[in-house]
Chain A
Amino acid sequence: MSIKECQGQSIVSLRNVTKSFQGRKVIDDVSLDVVCGETFVIMGCSGSGKSTLLRHMTGAICPDEGSVLIKDKNIADISYNELDEVKKTFGMSFQYSALLDSLTVEENVALPLREHTKLADEIIEIIIKMKLSLVGMRGFEHYYPSEISGGMRKRVSLARAIALDPDIVFYDEPTSGLDPVVGGITDKLIKDLSVKLMITSVVVTHDMHSVFKIADRIAMIHEGRIIEIGTPDEIKNSQNPFVHQFINGNPDGPINLFEEQGEPEQEAVL
Chain B
Amino acid sequence: MISYLGRFFIEHTLWLKGVINLFIDILYWTFIGPFLGKFSRRESIFHQMIFVGICSIVIVFFVDLFTGIVLAMQSAYILEKMGAKLYVASLVSVSLCRELGPVLTALVVAGRAGSAIAAELGTMKVTEQIEALETMAINPVRFLAVPRFLALVIMLPALTVLGDLAGIFGGFLIGTRSMNINPDLYMQIAFKYLELKDINTGLLKAFVFGIIIALVACYEGLNTKGGAEGVGRATTRSVVISFILIIAADCFLTAIFYFS
Q: What residues of chain A have their CB less than 8 Å away from a CB belonging to chain B? A: 58-60, 83-85, 87-88, 91-92, 94-96, 98-102, 111-112, 115-116, 160
- Contact A96 B128, CB 8 Å, known A58-B135, A60-B134, A111-B138: yes
**A-facing residues in B152-167 (Cβ within 8 Å):** none
Query: What are 24 inter-chain pairs, A to B, with CB distance below 8 A?
Result: A59-B135, A84-B137, A85-B137, A87-B134, A87-B135, A88-B137, A91-B135, A92-B132, A92-B135, A94-B131, A94-B132, A95-B128, A96-B127, A96-B128, A98-B129, A98-B131, A98-B132, A99-B129, A99-B132, A100-B124, A100-B132, A100-B133, A101-B129, A160-B136
Question: Which residue of A95, A101, A115 contacts B136 across the interface (Cβ within 8 Å)?
Answer: A115
CB-CB nearest in chain A for B39: A115
Q: Distance in Å from the Cβ of A201 to the closest Cβ of chain B?
A: 15
- Extra A-B contacts (14), CB below 8 Å, given A60-B131, A96-B128, A100-B129: A58-B135, A60-B134, A60-B135, A91-B136, A92-B132, A92-B135, A94-B132, A98-B128, A99-B132, A111-B138, A112-B136, A115-B137, A116-B137, A160-B136
Q: Distance in Å from the Cβ of A163 to the closest Cβ of chain B?
A: 9
- Which A residues are CB-close (under 8 A) to B131? 60, 94, 98
Q: Distance in Å from the Cβ of A50 to the closest Cβ of chain B?
A: 16
- Which A residues are CB-close (under 8 A) to B128? 94-96, 98
- Which A residues are CB-close (under 8 A) to B136? 87, 91, 111-112, 115, 160
Interface string of B226-249 (1 = CB under 8 A from A): 000000000000000000000000
- Give the number of A-B contacts (CB < 8 Å): 49
| A112 and B138 contact, CB distance less than 8 A | yes
CB-CB nearest in chain A for B36: A81
- Which A residues are CB-close (under 8 A) to B138? 111-112, 115
Q: Distance in Å from the Cβ of A194 to the closest Cβ of chain B?
A: 19
Complex Cα distance, B137 from A176, in Å, reads: 26
**A-facing residues in B180-201 (Cβ within 8 Å):** none
- Contact A101 B124, CB 8 Å, known A84-B137, A111-B138, A116-B137: yes
Complex Cα distance, B133 from A139, in Å, reads: 25
Q: Distance in Å from the Cβ of A176 to the closest Cβ of chain B?
A: 14
Q: Distance in Å from the Cβ of A15 to the closest Cβ of chain B?
A: 22
Complex Cα distance, B120 from A96, in Å, reads: 17
Complex Cα distance, B126 from A95, in Å, reads: 13
- Which A residues are CB-close (under 8 A) to B137? 83-85, 87-88, 112, 115-116
CB-CB nearest in chain B for A114: B41
- Which B residues are CB-close (under 8 A) to A83? 137
Q: Distance in Å from the Cβ of B130 to the closest Cβ of chain A?
A: 9
CB-CB nearest in chain A for B126: A96
CB-CB nearest in chain B for A87: B137
- What 4 A-B pairs come out closest when comparing CB atoms? A98-B132, A87-B137, A98-B128, A84-B137
- Which B residues are CB-close (under 8 A) to A96? 127-128
CB-CB nearest in chain A for B142: A115
- Which B residues are CB-close (under 8 A) to A85? 137
- Which B residues are CB-close (under 8 A) to A115? 136-138
Q: Distance in Å from the Cβ of A253 to the closest Cβ of chain B?
A: 32
Q: Distance in Å from the Cβ of A168 to the closest Cβ of chain B?
A: 12
- Which A residues are CB-close (under 8 A) to B135? 58-60, 87, 91-92
Complex Cα distance, B143 from A111, in Å, reads: 11
Q: Distance in Å from the Cβ of B218 to the closest Cβ of chain A?
A: 15
- Which A residues are CB-close (under 8 A) to B134? 60, 87
Q: Distance in Å from the Cβ of A131 to the closest Cβ of chain B?
A: 14
Complex Cα distance, B133 from A102, in Å, reads: 13
CB-CB nearest in chain A for B135: A92
Q: Distance in Å from the Cβ of B135 to the closest Cβ of chain A?
A: 5
- Which B residues are CB-close (under 8 A) to A59? 135
CB-CB nearest in chain A for B143: A115
- Which A residues are CB-close (under 8 A) to B120? 102
Complex Cα distance, B128 from A111, in Å, reads: 16
- Which B residues are CB-close (under 8 A) to A100? 124, 129, 132-133
**A-facing residues in B111-131 (Cβ within 8 Å):** 120, 123-124, 127-129, 131
- Which B residues are CB-close (under 8 A) to A88? 137
- Which B residues are CB-close (under 8 A) to A84? 137
Among the interface residues B123, B131, B132, B133, which one has the most CB atoms of the partner chain A within 10 A?
B132
Complex Cα distance, B131 from A100, in Å, reads: 11
Among the interface residues A58, A88, A102, which one has the most CB atoms of the partner chain B within 10 A?
A102
Complex Cα distance, B124 from A100, in Å, reads: 8
Among the interface residues B123, B128, B133, which one has the most CB atoms of the partner chain A within 10 A?
B128
Q: Distance in Å from the Cβ of A89 to the closest Cβ of chain B?
A: 10
Complex Cα distance, B44 from A111, in Å, reads: 13
CB-CB nearest in chain A for B136: A112
Q: Distance in Å from the Cβ of B129 to the closest Cβ of chain A?
A: 5
Q: Distance in Å from the Cβ of B241 to the closest Cβ of chain A?
A: 25
Q: Distance in Å from the Cβ of B34 to the closest Cβ of chain A?
A: 14
